[in-house]
Amino acid sequence: MITLNEILENYQSPVDDRSEFKGIPIEFAKEALALLPTENRRIRYRGPSTPTHRRNPSYCLQSAATSIAVYYDNYKSFYV
């Protein structure tokens, strides 16, 4: 089980990055997304190419992802 504080401490993106959170392991994705606001949220799946899946540099399939990044369309920073 992952807590909101762990997400904020371990996976928050740097200030100059467009994402709010990145590098959240795929095994924590469902729990992490349940804790984060859903309004204007976009999820991007991230992961390397594998022998069975050669990914396009622009995107990654959910089934091949190893982590997720979370973006918000309107700028609501979680930085305090």
Please tell me which residue, 11 or 74, carries the higher pLDDT value.
11
Categorize the per-residue pLDDT at 74 as very low, low, confident or very high, splitting at 50, 70 and 90: low
Q: List, in order, residues 6 or more apart from 68 with CB less than 8 Å away.
A: 22, 24, 26, 29, 32, 33, 43, 44, 45, 46
pTM, entire model: 0.80
